[in-house]
A and B are shown apart, each in its own frame.
Chain A
């Protein structure tokens, strides 16, 4: 089976050529296969964010190759990278990052809007996605009228907009209390098990990581451990 993520020898340096040149990632190899639920754990400063930016095609590695769903990201220009993010990746952020002036529904429509989907189809799919995360009765609310857990559910619905190859979730429960965090995690499990979605969860919480199928531990810019998780909530 072709991997969705095939990253080899990823090195990321900043301030190249300057006296303060800084290497954050020292050569990382990651393969993620379709349908997997993978956690990347690491303390702050381990290079987690940098790795996530590269995996999310927000940034390019200084060295190494990265194939995402068969596309060589290193060879793509800005506009192609935008299209890759739009079609293949669904982002879920710790801070939700909903557009505050637009209704929840409009937020969910955004990736489809940028994909050029027609209004009616967009509306229909956004409504379905809202129903999937149990937010159909608050579709027309603005984000500032929603609780944290509700916002994150809208954000997950938005991430699913163009039915991406993978969902990249960066500390999705970091700003939520245990109960709502649980609910969000349950949605991820459901997306993974029922819809077969590939999910990469970036977190510093070992308990959350334990719920996934595979746990990669990042430390000082290197993958230092790889082990299996339980694959489900609770122990």
Chain B
């Protein structure tokens, strides 16, 4: 009851001294606003990155073939980047073959659930008399195609027979069909379509049409009209006249496995088995989760640094609150004396002024939270234009808690001073 009365009293006091209250709260407002702004940006970035990463597969391990470190240093003569004429080309022996992969998967059978095989054949044209559509032909195995989460408008995706027998079948986007074939999707099914790539003609039977989704396209910002055309993975190697070979692919892990351990295990296994005698190349593994971790840890260390600065401004704000409380108590000495004469216990007086300090800090904190959220809302797209806005709920609770703590900490000393006032002196104070 007394707490409620005290809160109302403190609020009326705030209203009575608006300018002074706002000036006092400024430190708290700036401190809390900067914490909230940073946290808003931080949460938004982290959430967006985690979201993106999860979509790409947090349980995936990427296995890639790269030039050996020592080799790079020799050939690069100490330069950091390795793109250039001195970079060695992968020879047939340097790739991982389909059999190699089968062996790796069976060796880690309990931990690897599937392999995402992809073979990009590159930009091509879908041709139908005078009509063309830009496409990118991509060979994929079933597991990878499943990952694409295609929404089929007509027909089907590949069967295992298509894959095993290297059938010349193709999946096209609705956009490619609209642009080049100009028939309904149902009618288009079963047609033999012509794909032109590097001046060579390839023919495939159209077995399915999927809905092209702009938002998933990695190229959506570069205004690329081309859509992906899927063919079975082995068909793609046939068309390219190369054996089944990979320099880069994703391994899908069982969700229960420890990804970080598995990354090092696979890397050492593949290197020992396939690249021990390879002078130029080695296998290298990394996982999305480790990238997410390093990203978030970087973000959090930046946040920490800025939070320290914000903490300092909160400290300064807290001292401001203490200062104004001391002044206010001095001014209200008579009031304190009167209250004591009317029977207020020391603890009641102490509570009254602590509550007043807390109210001052909470109101300041609330203003700071609002300013911080608004600032964060507008600043987030400046840092990363793809990041979505997320409300830093934890940060808000934390800030309210912090405001209360600042109020209690910096309000206690003045409040205690008030509580210990001698009622006689206080009553006689002019």
Contacts and interface: CB of A to CB of B under 8 A. Distances in A.
Contacts of A98: 338
B346 A79 contact: yes
Contacts, number: 68
Nearest to A52: B424
B427 A101 contact: no
Contact of A93 (B339, B340, B345, B427): B427
- Classify the secondary structure of B's interface with A: helix
Interface in B316-361: 334-335, 337-348
A161 B338 CA distance: 14
A162 B342 CA distance: 10
B13 interface: yes
Interface string B1-17: 11001000100110010
A158 B339 CA distance: 11
A98 B424 CA distance: 16
A110 B339 contact: yes
B343 A82 contact: yes
Interface string A106-143: 00001101111011000000000000000000000000
Contacts of A158: 342
A53 B334 CA distance: 15
A97 B343 contact: no
B64 interface: no
B12 A86 contact: no
A59 B424 contact: yes
A224 interface: no
A188 interface: no
A78 B346 contact: yes
A162 B343 CA distance: 10
A57 to B, nearest CB: 9
A98 B342 CA distance: 11
Contact of A82 (B12, B335, B346): B346
Contacts of A161: 342
Given A53-B424, A82-B340, A102 B9 contact: yes
Contacts of B344: 82, 86, 114
A83 interface: yes
A118 B341 CA distance: 21
A101 B1 contact: no
Contacts of B9: 101-102
Contact of A101 (B16, B338, B340): B16
A115 B343 contact: yes
B423 interface: yes
Contacts of B1: 113, 116, 118-119
Chain B, interface residues (CB within 8 Å), range: 20 to 34
A218 to B, nearest CB: 18
A99 B16 CA distance: 13
A168 to B, nearest CB: 9
Nearest to B343: A86
Interface in A64-106: 78-79, 82-83, 85-87, 91, 93, 97-102
Interface residues of A, number: 30
A158 B5 CA distance: 17
Interface in B227-273: none
A6 to B, nearest CB: 21
B12 A111 contact: no
A212 B408 CA distance: 50
Contacts of B427: 58, 93, 97
B42 to A, nearest CB: 42
B342 A111 contact: yes
A85 B424 contact: no
A161 B423 CA distance: 20
Instruction: Among B9, B334, B338, B346, find the residue whose CB has the most chain A CB atoms closer than 10 A.
Output: B338
A79 B420 CA distance: 12
A87 B344 CA distance: 11
A42 interface: no
B17 to A, nearest CB: 10
Contacts of A93: 338, 427
Instruction: Among A85, A87, A158, find the residue whose CB has the most chain B CB atoms closer than 10 A.
Output: A85
Nearest to B340: A82
A78 B345 CA distance: 8
Nearest to B6: A113
A101 B342 contact: no
Given A58-B427, A118-B1, A99 B338 contact: yes
Contact of B343 (A59, A101, A111): A111
Nearest to B5: A113
Nearest to B344: A114
Contacts of A58: 340-341, 423-424, 427
Contacts of B337: 97
Contact of B334 (A97, A102, A118, A162): A97
A223 B101 CA distance: 112
A115 B1 CA distance: 11
Contacts of B13: 101
A56 interface: yes
Interface string A163-200: 00000000000000000000000000000000000000
7 contacts: A58-B341, A98-B338, A101-B12, A102-B9, A110-B339, A114-B345, A161-B342
Interchain residue pairs A-B with the least CB separation, the first 4:
A86-B343, A97-B338, A82-B345, A114-B343
Given A102-B9, A118-B1, 8 more contacts: A59-B424, A78-B346, A82-B346, A86-B342, A97-B334, A101-B12, A114-B348, A158-B342
Interface of B: 1-2, 5, 9, 12-13, 16, 334-335, 337-348, 423-424, 427
